[in-house]
Amino acid sequence: MHQFTEFDSAERRDRAMSKVLLLLFGFAVLGFFVLIDRVDWLSIRPATGTSIALSVASSVPSEASSSDQYKDAAAQ
């Protein structure tokens, strides 16, 4: 039976650690490429339905407010 010396176990540990680090680097590069393809994932969006409705309501002028503006302009 082969007896492992301290050098052999250190070499095996270093080899395993290098494989794990290389795998993590590969996942990081893959994640980077996926992320730059999907830039919209980085935008901050409302989390709930209520906040989505409030966000849409504040960004798009409603018909009621625009029709009131036309009535006010016509009255003058």
| pLDDT tens digit sequence for 43-54 | 776 677 777 777
| Residue showing tokens 């007896």 | 3
At 17 the pLDDT is: 96
| Residue showing tokens 């080899």 | 15
**Separation between Cα atoms, residue 61 and residue 68, nearest integer Å:** 12
Whether pTM > 0.75 for this model: the answer is no
Q: Which residues of 12-37 are buried (b: 16+ CB within 10 A; e: fewer)?
A: eeeeeeeeeeeeeeeeeeeeeeeeee
DSSP reduced 3-state for 1: coil
Dump pLDDT digits (tens) for 15-55.
Answer: 999 999 999 999 999 999 998 888 777 777 667 777 777 77
